[in-house]
Amino acid sequence: MLLPQLEREGLYNSFNFNVDNCVPNYYFAANSSAIGARVEVFLCPSDGAEPPAKEWGGTNYVTNFGTEWDSFNVTNGVFHILSSTSVRDIVDGTCNTAAFSEHAMGIIGSGNPSHRLAHLRQGLRRSTRSLNQADLELWCATPNPSDGIDTGNYGTLWAWRHSDYRHVLSPNHRFCTEARFGVPIVYGGVGFSYQYLNPATSFHPNGVNLLLCDGSVRFIKDSISRGVWQALGTRAGQETIANTEF
């Protein structure tokens, strides 16, 4: 919906919105030209890397999926798949609730040596080893987690649904994920999916930019307290935070 406001009406009109983007193969085929477009305003100049799929246009700006490791269907943040969240649902206040933050694309393997920061690496834990979200968080906090795979790359694509981050781990923490069976899926029931602990990340020194639901932008330091960071991620958690705390 942003494209017409960015003077990219032609790109917007080229999309086939009748194809469900939750069915990737059909969506990709129907929109192969449009999704490869590079939209400069979606890219942070401090990153400069390319998305992992060269046929896709990348983005550094991602939506707030709250503080839970799963839940594409419903989150306690502002966004989720098939979301219909409105301002009236943000009972914590628009000035205390995150809408968008950043995710770096330039991870291990990028041609630019400055884009090889260890704290941005992705760790994939082998299937269903975690007992719960707290267990995966503990595993992810280990400097060199065992029983995992360092996949070493993560990029975000502006034209698909996986442009999200979570207020679980502090900004610029390692990204961790785990494949699991028996988790809720978008159209009901359960199936195979991934549990994500994907924090906001950037190549800015010591923090990330955060767009709040009132339209203001704040620079959030990596050292922000866990409680305040998670409170910013919920739309109706009834937490009390002051703007001097972030």
Q: State CA 133 to chain mean position distance.
A: 17
Buried/exposed code over 2-39 (b: 16+ C-beta within 10 A; e: otherwise): ebeeeeeeebeeebeeeeebeeeeebbebbeebbebeb
Q: Would you state the pLDDT for residue 116?
A: 46
DSSP 103-135: -----TT-SSGGG--GGG-EEEEPTT--SSHHH
Residue 80 lies in a domain: yes
Q: Would you state the pLDDT for residue 113?
A: 43
Q: Would you state the pLDDT for residue 162?
A: 65
Residue 172 and residue 223 in contact, taking contact as beta carbons nearer than 8 Å: no
Residue 241 and residue 228 in contact, taking contact as beta carbons nearer than 8 Å: yes
Residue 139 and residue 131 in contact, taking contact as beta carbons nearer than 8 Å: no
* Dist CA 121 CA 117 (whole Å): 7
Place of tokens 């070493």: 152
The rounded percent of the chain whose pLDDT value lies above 70 is: 85
Residue 5 lies in a domain: no
What is the number of domains present in the chain?
1
Residue 48 lies in a domain: no
* Dist CA 177 CA 132 (whole Å): 12
* Residues of the chain predicted below pLDDT 70: 22-24, 50-54, 71-73, 106-121, 150-155, 161-162, 186-188
Residue 119 lies in a domain: yes
pLDDT tens by residue, 59-95: 889 999 999 987 666 789 998 877 788 999 999 999 9
Phi, psi of 243 (to 5 degrees): -70, -10
Residue 1 lies in a domain: no
Residue 19 lies in a domain: no
Q: Would you state the pLDDT for residue 199?
A: 92
Q: Would you state the pLDDT for residue 102?
A: 92
Q: Would you state the pLDDT for residue 186?
A: 67
Residue 113 lies in a domain: yes
Three-state DSSP state, 52 = coil
Residue 171 lies in a domain: yes
Residue 94 belongs to what domain range? 61-156+163-245
